[in-house]
Amino acid sequence: MNANPILLQKKYSRIVARFAEKANISLNDALYVFYHSTLYVLISEGVSDMHCMSDEYLADDLYMEYEAGK
């Protein structure tokens, strides 16, 4: 299932903001990490309805991916 593109953009911004706080990095750096992550690919392609999961859960998932990639 694909979500409305406008709603996805809002979801992305909330995920990035929460992730930036967790990782203690700038929003610009967080945005770069997000758009180069596996999570972004899964959400944008509508895999497993990832966009339906909570912002907090997705920010945690992005943080784990970020820490694993260090």
pLDDT in tens, 16-70: 999 999 999 999 999 999 999 999 999 988 887 888 999 999 999 999 999 998 7
pTM (predicted TM-score):
0.91
CA-CA distances (angstroms) from residue 57 to 7, 18, 31, 50? 17, 10, 17, 10
